Structure 1
Amino acid sequence: MSRLRAAQHPSLCLREAASPGVAVLSRMPPTGQATPGRRMTFLAPCLSPDELCQGTVDGIIGSFPATRPGPPHTMLRSLSLRSRLILAFFVAVVLPSGLLLWGGFVAFREVVVVTGSAGPWGQVAESGILLLEELEREDPRPNVLEQLAERHRSELSESVRFSRIYALLGERVLFLLPLAALALLLLAAAVAFWLANAFSRRISHPVESLVGWTERVGRGEPLPTPTPEEESGAPEFRKLRQALRRMEGELVEARKEAVERARMRSWTEMARRLAHDLKNPLTPMTMAARAAARARDPAASAAGSILLEEIQRLDEMARSLADFARAPEGPTSRVELGELLEGLARRMGQDPTPLEVHLPPEPVMVDGHLLVLERVVRNLVVNAQEAVLEGQMGRSVTAGVPDPVEVHLTREAGHAVIRVLDRGPGLPAGNRDRIWDPEFTTRRKGTGLGLPLVRQAVKFHGGQVTALDREGGGTEFRIQLPLATSPSTPAPETP
């Protein structure tokens, strides 16, 4: 086996070593390049004293300085797009053009040779043969000899004329034809190179641009603004750019949602701990404050009353924190939003700010938790009523009936929409997005948890809530909830 492997590589000399399982592999210099002291010897592991693994031989051969080039397909893979296009155009344009020119040159030369060797020269030979045959006869005929000689003379003059023409062609045309072929070949090569370069720029530039876009998306950087060049490019690249822009938008939204979920988890955990820490001391504090409020000393009684008010405020904050940290429990039920809003209007109708509820004629059903949804609407209505009073104070309005808070219930494209509108001072300038943060509030006695509770509860029910500036002043809160899907539920109206 070892001799066979060595025979496949004539420049190798293989022999067994003294140690078992090891072979000595020596590389001989190529023929004609023998230099003393250039023999290189390696030890290679063997499967047996007489067998050397082919992989070991090939691996050692590949480690020698005199390496063979890789296969053509690996070399092609290492070429750039521009080089591949140039090679493709060369194969498709230059080589066929060269072959056609070479074939035309050979054919023209053969035609000249063939036509030059026949025609007038053949006739001269024929007439000359006839003349000689007549002279060789025993009794030559004078008249025939004279005719043959005249014929031979005329054909000979004609052949001289043709020979001069073909000599001119042979000296000039056949000499210029290779130069013309070379010029055409160079022109075809230049055209092929120009086309390949133009096509490669047209293809490689958008590809490099798209690669840069993917790197920007990976780093979280915004993509460049659209340019007219993008719209005028190839449809395939235009679709790729549009897909990348859609992907960027989806990634931005996904990052925002991930950050929002992480913030809400941290706030929920903090709210749970704060609610627990607040509730523990509230009971003894309440008992002590009540005792102080019942004291005969007026100062102690007044201090106890103040403490009870602050303890009640802390208890309300603890309940808000507990509600914020606790998701709705239990199964959902069918809730008719019209009845919910009517009951809320009856209970809150005695407030200083009027409440107007506008309902559709047909019932609007959703799946959810009745108490949670009622708390959501109540929080928004309370905020709206306080905003109306705050707006009146800012306008120095001391008399008259305050502007009512309006609640509208409608159906829109398979969703129930509740809109709470007020004529207050409107959304805080510069802090529109912060109103949903648990730590943000613009009121002195506010806890900052009302709107975050609303948003969390609405999201739990598969909906969304947004805040807008109302036309003419004020604020509009818009709650969108999916309608209940049931045979008993009336079909939703399209707007």
Structure 2
Amino acid sequence: MGTTRKDRDPPAGLRRRLFWSLFLSALIPAVLTLVGGSLVLRELVAQTGSVGPWAAVADSGRELLDLIRGSEASADVTAAAERHRQVLSESLRLSQIYAVVGERIIFLTPLAGLALLALVGGVAALATRRLASGLAAPAEELAEWIRKLGAGEPLPSSDGAGPRGEVAEFRTLRSGLRDAAERLEEAHLRELEQARARSWADMARRVAHEIKNPLMPMRMAAERVAGAQDPALAEAGTILLEEVHRLDELARAFSQFGRPVEGPAAAVDLRELLQGLGRRLGLDDALVLELPPEPVWVLGHVEALERVFRNLVSNALEAQAVPGTPRPAGRSAHRPAPGPPSTPEGADAPTTSWEDDGDPWNGDGQEPEPVRVRLVQAGNRARVVITDRGPGIDPAFLDRIWEPDFTTRRKGTGLGLPLVRQVVEHHGGRVSAGNRRDGGALFQVDLPRTGPPMGFDEGTP
């Protein structure tokens, strides 16, 4: 759907419309007040200050006084009539003056009103122009932002506070649009990631099905070759069996990718799970478990979570074996974990800091450090941190290691870490990776904590 010029620049005349709306809102009442006041003043002067009525009264008064003089009235009446004549003459004189002043007022008032109106109009024009500019500029900017938001274009970078004197509501709108743009971008990225994951999951299941079909006859043939009397044939058969086993593991990984964890969740003691994993791996010299003395419970699936930590530990052990990196020396396989970080109960501890606290095993630089698995309780989460002293992760690959089509190992499937992330997120947690400051990689898994199962006695060993 195309956009018209009006859609691209919707408030082009907003500044002009605001100016005339505000200016006329101030000017029209002033004009009406001036015209109405002039008419009322003219009528008032005409009714109270006209010379005509006073002249008629004076003429009738003079006739009355002349009659009194010509009659044989008493001296008192004649004196009173004379006083009345003087007062009447003075009133007539004042009426004439008032009439002249009234005429001047009637003539000059509109002129003064026009001058005042011009002054008020000028002030109103300046004020409305400034106000219109202050309203139109941010409105035009926000309209342009909305257009960019609808078109999927990035918004301008944040420049802190808005212009001086800007209406606070515009700052609120600008902040709201930035938040909306960020949420839309995050939703778009999540949608792309989910679509890619669904595509990979579908393809992985089809590939797994195609791989599994010929594996059984291949395995049987390889076993026969491996059992041959000829050493060369037996060696070739052994190699074939190893490759068949690798293909079987690949098919199993492909079939698991994108498949939700099955079965009901239950309370899982991560401390016991990691202890069992350490025993099954049988790597007392290469693996150090730092576990708290008490159980740490999460709600999840034991087998899926064990696969997560087995994968991460195996990756760390393989990284330790990279040529040129130190090999682990003899160590005690278990030691108490350090105390949990200072995080209030119910709060999430930071997950982006890869700084390592002091390590007495590696402080002198003489003996290399084995792979370490540390379990702590961080607020309302259980945190497992796995560190190694391998070459670390190329910073350019830190974001790509979670992609199902990415691997840096020659025999890697590229599905190990994506499966780890899938399972952890299914359990309501998050997994992240980084590099240690003094060398090696660090993987951190955060899972929501839960209470012990019903009937669990903490005093029972």
TM-score, structure 1 normalization: 0.71
Q: Verify: 1:440 aligned to 2:428, yes or no.
A: no
Q: Verify: 1:407 aligned to 2:337, yes or no.
A: no
**C-alpha contact 2:326 2:390 (8 A) present in aligned 1:** no
Q: Verify: 1:323 aligned to 2:253, yes or no.
A: no
* Separation (CA, whole Å) in 2 of partners of 1:458 and 1:299: 46
* Separation (CA, whole Å) in 2 of partners of 1:432 and 1:369: 27
Offset of residue 290 of structure 1: 2.3
* Alpha-carbon displacement from aligned partner over 1:288-309 (angstroms, at most 9, x marks no partner): 2222223333333332222222
Offset of residue 451 of structure 1: 0.7
Offset of residue 277 of structure 1: 1.2
* Alpha-carbon displacement from aligned partner over 1:342-366 (angstroms, at most 9, x marks no partner): 1111222337x62111222321111
Larger radius of gyration: 1
Q: Percent identity?
A: 43
- 1:206-221 pair list within 5 angstroms: 206-221=138-153
Alignment RMSD, CA only? 3.5
Offset of residue 372 of structure 1: 0.9
Offset of residue 106 of structure 1: 3.6
**C-alpha contact 1:411 1:417 (8 A) present in aligned 2:** yes
Offset of residue 395 of structure 1: 4.8
- Aligned position for 2:349: none
> Alpha carbons of 1:419 and 1:152: their partners in 2 closer, same or farther (altered >3 Å)?
same
Q: Verify: 1:383 aligned to 2:315, yes or no.
A: yes
- Aligned position for 1:134: 68
- Aligned position for 2:361: none
Q: Verify: 1:204 aligned to 2:136, yes or no.
A: yes
Q: Which amino acid aligns with 1:209?
A: E
Gapped regions of structure 1 (runs ≥ 5): 1-78, 491-495
Relative contact order: is structure 1 or structure 2 higher (C-alpha 8 Å, sep ≥ 6)?
A: 2
- Aligned position for 2:219: 286
Q: Which amino acid aligns with 2:388?
A: D
**C-alpha contact 1:415 1:481 (8 A) present in aligned 2:** yes
* Separation (CA, whole Å) in 1 of partners of 2:44 and 2:232: 134
* Separation (CA, whole Å) in 2 of partners of 1:175 and 1:460: 89
285, 290, 312: which one aligns with 1:358:
290
Q: Which amino acid aligns with 2:101?
A: L
* Separation (CA, whole Å) in 1 of partners of 2:153 and 2:324: 43
- Aligned position for 2:110: 178
* Separation (CA, whole Å) in 2 of partners of 1:107 and 1:428: 89
TM-score, structure 2 normalization: 0.76
* Alpha-carbon displacement from aligned partner over 1:203-260 (angstroms, at most 9, x marks no partner): 3332332222222222222221223326863222222222222222221221111111
> Alpha carbons of 1:96 and 1:126: their partners in 2 closer, same or farther (altered >3 Å)?
farther
- Aligned position for 1:313: 246
* Separation (CA, whole Å) in 1 of partners of 2:420 and 2:34: 84
- Aligned position for 1:36: none
* Separation (CA, whole Å) in 1 of partners of 2:279 and 2:201: 33
Offset of residue 434 of structure 1: 0.5
* Separation (CA, whole Å) in 2 of partners of 1:153 and 1:350: 135
Offset of residue 271 of structure 1: 1.1
* Separation (CA, whole Å) in 2 of partners of 1:398 and 1:481: 29
* Separation (CA, whole Å) in 2 of partners of 1:415 and 1:239: 35
Offset of residue 191 of structure 1: 4.0
* Separation (CA, whole Å) in 2 of partners of 1:348 and 1:123: 131
> Alpha carbons of 1:219 and 1:396: their partners in 2 closer, same or farther (altered >3 Å)?
same
321, 324, 331: which one aligns with 1:394:
324
Q: Which amino acid aligns with 2:235?
A: A
Aligned length: 406
Q: Verify: 1:222 aligned to 2:188, yes or no.
A: no
**C-alpha contact 1:90 1:189 (8 A) present in aligned 2:** no
**C-alpha contact 2:204 2:255 (8 A) present in aligned 1:** yes
SS at match of 2:248: helix
Q: Which amino acid aligns with 1:372?
A: A
- Aligned position for 1:258: 191
